[in-house]
Chain A
Amino acid sequence: MSTTELLHLSAGEAGRLLQARKLSPVELAEAFLQRIDAVDTRVKSYLLVMAEAARTAARQAERDIMAGRWKGPLHGIPYAVKDNYYTRGVRTCAGSRVLMDFVPEYNATAVDRLDAAGAILLGKLNTWEYGTGNGGVYFDLPFEPACNPWDLARFTGGSSTGAGASVAAGTAMVAMGSDTTGSVRLPAASCGLQGMKPTYGLISRHGILPNCFSMDTPGPMTWTVEDNAIMLRAVAGHDPADPASAGRPVPDYLANLEAGVRGMTIGVLREFGPESQYLDDANRAQLEDMAAVLAREGARIVEIQLPAQISEYRRVTTVIGHSESATIHETDLLARGAEMGFALRDKLMSGAMIRSLDYLAAQRRRRELAAATDAMVCSVDALIAPCAFHVAPPFADNDVLRTLTSQNCCPPFNVSGHPAMTVCTGFDADGLPTNAQVVARWFDEATVYRVARAYERATAWRDRRPAL
């Protein structure tokens, strides 16, 4: 198999070959490490490549598999994590000068679970500082921003910038990001990936640099829906180290993956108040095409409405998110604020000015919005909605670039906690990925995957890769 063929395998395909001993974990890891060497000076998906540790882990995986100790579909699969995931003994700086000397003493629970599954950690991925920001890119961090593999002069979307870039560029087979108000879904949208923000509490937040205690949601970013389901199955489940961790059993997300959508009622969110005007033509057209595809696959398509304007959800996420970030990082802001980048400092200073009255009002409004949003979600089996309103913007104009983060339909499902997955819905006239998101009921990621897979199977978008 050529290097290109290796790099273009999905994790599902590679896992089956690894299990059958038709592919070596060492060969697979080496292909990705060579890919990193070949393209990452241009893509900048990594902040730290763990080449020797990856080679060591790959050799161990090969010994284990050959000895009959196969651990499952992730055994030998190369992955990478956003550099806000703690990794024992390995620098975790979250893109910041302030944390440049931080070496955690323990792994994030998600990393432990992926390691236990036999996956091979390639390194730490680029990120906005502290995994957050104000939507802009200011080139004032110790690392250059990641570049979009579909057009290196364009933004990846944030804050899981490197995770989006790595899977699209082939510098990682699968990746883990984190989403507070869109930070998995927006880079997935901009980089043409399938990116899941699961139900809040499904994946442990333990060992991930906190941004907002009550909304942070880790999530897998992958090329295919099957890969996403494989990753989620490995990392999901109760963790006593995370106070918000859900105690529900984790289903087999692959069991009904190919069940299709025949007989399902799927809602389409076409109009959502004044912000509807910002949805660009290409994304709007592909959302309609997605509805048509699902209808041809046998779903009943119905119109649905959000119970409130996106701006109302966004106001709640801003007050909660900024307040909690400022609380978490108060010491850093006071002692080392001058060393922070403009975007992080902006956010923390804003959060430091929010009154408790307003924060609690936001949490009370959140409960109300979550209940109303749940009523909408439960009126159908699943729904599709816009996610990013724009294709990947160019770096050249920061005001335009910021609209990717300020104009989208991510906040409703961070407020409510419902699972929401970005899927690639095609490409615009310039070859840039378009997107939509699939949403289902709390803890019903299986239905999200089922709908997303039905759409993926009926389209050819996964056959097209960036021409790096």
Chain B
Amino acid sequence: MSTDATGSWTYEEIVAHCRRYGIALPEPQVRRMHELSATVSQTGLGIPRMPSKDCEPALTFVMPTE
């Protein structure tokens, strides 16, 4: 599988994404979402992947101790 990732979305992909998740926005905002999409994707892709499977996320759920 290729590891090249551009983060780019086509406008049609944004429309499909909105439809898929029930995101009902007026058309100008969908176009704005398209403008934002590359930055969002690249921001996520730019987060370094941890070198080891043992590197854990910051926890939001732990068992209460009292």
Binding site for B on A (CB under 8 A): 199-201, 206, 209-210, 213-214, 243-244, 246-248, 327-331, 333-335, 337-338, 355, 363, 366-367, 370, 417, 442-443
Report the separation of the CA atoms of residues A57 and B53 in the bound assembly, to the nearest whole angstrom: 30
Taken residue by residue from 34 to 59, chain B's Cβ proximity to chain A (1 for < 8 Å, 0 otherwise) reads as 00000000000000010001101101
For B62, the chain A residues whose CB sits under 8 A away are 201, 244, 246
Contact A330 B49 (CB under 8 A): yes
Of the listed residues B21, B49, B53, B59, the one surrounded by the most CB atoms of chain A closer than 10 A to its CB is B53
Partner of A213, one of B49, B57, B64: B57
Chain B interface residue number, banded: 10 to 19
Bound Cα distance A363, B58 (Å): 13
A247 to B3 CA separation, bound complex (whole angstroms)? 41
A338 to chain B, nearest CB (A): 8
Contact between B65 and A247, CB atoms less than 8 A apart: yes
In the complex, whether B24 has a CB less than 8 A from a CB of chain A is no
Question: Is A442 within 8 A of B64, CB to CB?
Answer: yes
B56, B57, B65: which contacts A246 (Cβ < 8 A)? B65
Pairwise interchain contact A331-B65, C-beta atoms closer than 8 A? no
Q: Which residues of B contact A330 (CB under 8 A)?
A: 49
Residues of B within 8 A of A210 (CB): 53-54, 56
Bound complex: CA of A330 vs CA of B48, how far in Å?
Answer: 12
A370: which B residues are within 8 A, CB to CB? 61
**Given A330-B49, A335-B3, A244-B59 contact (CB < 8 Å):** yes
Contacts A213-B56, A214-B60, A328-B53 aside, 14 further interface pairs with beta carbons under 8 A come to: A199-B63, A200-B63, A209-B53, A210-B56, A214-B59, A214-B61, A243-B59, A333-B1, A334-B1, A334-B3, A355-B21, A366-B61, A370-B61, A443-B63
Please report the C-alpha to C-alpha distance between residue A214 and residue B56 in the assembled complex, in whole angstroms: 9
- Chain A residues with Cβ below 8 Å from B56 are 210, 213, 243-244
B5: nearest chain-A partner, CB-CB: A334
State A370–B57 Cα separation when bound (angstroms). Answer: 20
**Which chain B residues in 17-33 approach chain A with CB under 8 Å?**
21
- Seen from chain B, the residues whose Cβ lies within 8 Å of a Cβ on chain A are 1, 3, 21, 49, 53-54, 56-57, 59-65
Contacts of A366 in B (CB 8 A): 61
Return A373 CB to nearest CB of chain B, in Å.
Answer: 13
Decide: B49 and A331 in contact? CB cutoff 8 A. Answer: yes
Cα of A335 to Cα of B1 in the assembled complex, Å = 6
A360 to chain B, nearest CB (A): 8
Contacts of B54 in A (CB 8 A): 206, 210
Give the complex CA separation of A199 and B62 in angstroms.
Answer: 11
B49 to chain A, nearest CB (A): 6
26 residue pairs bridging A and B, Cβ less than 8 Å apart: A200-B63, A201-B62, A201-B63, A206-B54, A213-B56, A213-B57, A214-B60, A214-B61, A243-B59, A244-B59, A244-B62, A247-B65, A327-B57, A328-B53, A329-B53, A330-B49, A331-B49, A334-B3, A335-B1, A338-B1, A355-B21, A363-B60, A367-B61, A370-B61, A417-B63, A442-B64
Q: A364 — nearest CB in chain B belongs to which residue?
A: B60
A contact patch SS:
loop
The distance in angstroms between the C-alpha atoms of A334 and B60, with both chains bound, is 28
- The CA-CA distance from A330 to B65 in the complex, in Å, is 33
If A328-B53, A331-B49 touch, does A363 touch B63 (CB 8 Å cutoff)?
A: no
Q: A335–B2 Cα gap in the complex (Å)?
A: 8
- Least CB distance from B54 to A in Å reads 7
CA–CA, A247 to B65, complex, Å? 8
Q: Which residues of B contact A363 (CB under 8 A)?
A: 60-61
Closest Cβ of chain A: how far from B45's Cβ, in Å? 11
Taking a contact as CB atoms under 8 Å apart, the answer to whether A248 and B65 are in contact is yes
A417 to B54, CA, bound (A): 21
For B21, the chain A residues whose CB sits under 8 A away are: 355
Query: Which chain A positions have C-beta within 8 A of B60?
Result: 214, 363
B57 neighbours in A (Cβ, 8 Å): 213, 327
Q: Closest Cβ of chain A: how far from B66's Cβ, in Å?
A: 10
Tell me, rounded to whole Å, the shortest Cβ–Cβ distance linking B58 to chain A: 9
Inter-chain CA distance A199–B53, complex, in Å, is: 23
The 4 tightest CB contacts between A and B, nearest first, are A201-B63, A213-B56, A328-B53, A243-B56
Cβ contacts under 8 Å, A338 to chain B = 1
* Residues on B with beta carbons closer than 8 Å to the beta carbon of A329: 53
By a CB distance below 8 angstroms, the chain A residues around B63 are 199-201, 246, 417, 442-443
Q: Which residue of B lies closest to A355 (CB)?
A: B21
Q: Report chain B residues within 8 Å CB of A247.
A: 65
CB B46 to nearest CB in A, in angstroms, measures 14
